[in-house]
């Protein structure tokens, strides 16, 4: 009897011991696995590079998968988190953002992003690129992107003097959109007048050269685009005013107010907005509208960005 009880005790002890050992092993294995997982995690990798907990949280919140892979393969950059949380951040431009920002820290960070994205940190006409005309209404023509002599829009038609001053011509498709807009504005008791539209390369060349011959390159550049660099050559740019208004005071008209609220619904955007000169390269022009299609115009309108910024982030950035 005694012996059996003793045996039972021994068995119970052995079972308990076994449970304890198994528990310890399970705990160790779990911890080990967790540690191995941690070692291969983004957090660990970023910590190893030198990022703080706070920086890691920011990076993991904003970086895309692609960006994270790049960040993990680069050395520590203390200013990364200043820029990565910006909406239009492009990782490959980080070094340029930092360089520009460090020269003048009074500039808003989002402005630095915009200026670098569109290349406006360079001088006008420096390293210009021939624009991709296959993008049609999304082609970019500005002081860094040009059209060559041979570019002429397709299906150009004359605009009736009911809707425009004399001698205006635009691609048929743009005309249809303009007419839709014209009619809706007219129903609201307003009259839009197209004052300038498609202008060919030769026209711009003569205009620019006249200025240049009068007062030199610097002055000519301040008053006119060089040939090939005028958005009017695309056929997608329209100058719109109303009767009894000059271009300069168009911004005080009801027609301007209406365009400001409605132009995007027809695919048009105000191309050179107020306070965006350092991005567009042009002073505010309340009369200059650009057709980019309804979808893109709506995005630009809602997000209050310029076409240059849209192009840099959503078109050029995706091509690279």
Applying CB under 5 A, which residues contact Zn ion? 239, 288
Tell me whether residue 69 or residue 167 sits nearer to Zn ion (CB atom). Answer: 167
Q: What is the DSSP letter of 266?
A: G
Which residue from 300, 314, 241, 311 is spatially nearest to 265, judged by alpha carbons? 300
Token pair recorded at residue 320 = 């690279």
Cα gap 170→84, rounded to integer Å: 42
- Cβ pair 197, 169 in contact under 8 A: yes
Tell me whether residue 276 or residue 288 sits nearer to Zn ion (CB atom). Answer: 288
Cα gap 65→250, rounded to integer Å: 47
Q: Which residues contact 132 (CB under 8 A, 6 or more apart)?
A: 139
Residues forming the active site: 285
Which residue from 177, 186, 190 is spatially nearest to 291, judged by alpha carbons? 177
Residue 319 Cβ vs Zn ion, minimum distance, rounded to whole Å: 27
Largest CA distance in the chain: 125
Tell me whether residue 81 or residue 142 sits nearer to Zn ion (CB atom). Answer: 142
Tell me whether residue 46 or residue 140 sits nearer to Zn ion (CB atom). Answer: 140
Residue 294 Cβ vs Zn ion, minimum distance, rounded to whole Å: 21
Residue 180 Cβ vs Zn ion, minimum distance, rounded to whole Å: 20
Residue 237 Cβ vs Zn ion, minimum distance, rounded to whole Å: 5
């Amino acid at each position: 009897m005694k012996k059996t009880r003793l045996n039972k005790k021994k068995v119970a002890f052995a079972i308990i011991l076994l449970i304890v050992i198994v528990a310890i092993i399970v705990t160790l294995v779990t911890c080990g696995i967790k540690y191995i997982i941690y070692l291969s995690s983004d957090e660990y990798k970023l910590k190893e590079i030198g990022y703080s907990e706070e920086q890691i949280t920011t990076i993991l919140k904003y970086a895309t998968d692609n960006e994270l892979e790049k960040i993990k393969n680069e050395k520590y950059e203390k200013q990364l988190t200043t820029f990565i949380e910006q909406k239009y951040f492009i990782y490959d431009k980080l070094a340029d953002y930092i360089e520009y920002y460090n020269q003048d820290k009074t500039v808003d960070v989002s402005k630095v992003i915009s200026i670098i994205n569109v290349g406006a940190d360079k001088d006008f006409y420096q390293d210009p690129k021939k624009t991709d005309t296959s993008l049609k209404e999304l082609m970019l023509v500005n002081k860094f992107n040009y059209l060559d002599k041979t570019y002429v829009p397709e299906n150009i038609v004359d605009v009736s003097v009911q809707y425009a001053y004399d001698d205006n011509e635009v691609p048929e498709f743009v005309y249809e959109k303009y007419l839709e807009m014209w009619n809706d504005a007219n129903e609201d008791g307003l009259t839009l007048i197209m004052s300038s539209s498609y202008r060919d390369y030769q026209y711009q060349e003569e205009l620019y050269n006249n200025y240049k011959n009068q007062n030199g390159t610097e002055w000519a550049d301040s008053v006119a685009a060089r040939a090939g660099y005028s958005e009017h050559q695309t056929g997608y740019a329209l100058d719109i005013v109303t009767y009894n208004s000059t271009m300069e005071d168009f911004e005080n008209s009801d027609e301007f107010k209406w365009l400001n609220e409605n132009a995007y619904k027809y695919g048009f955007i105000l191309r050179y907005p107020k306070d965006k000169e350092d991005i567009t390269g042009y002073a505010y022009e309340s009369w200059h509208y650009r057709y980019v299609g309804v979808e893109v115009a709506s995005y630009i309108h809602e997000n209050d960005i310029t076409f240059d910024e849209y192009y840099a982030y959503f078109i050029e950035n995706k091509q690279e």
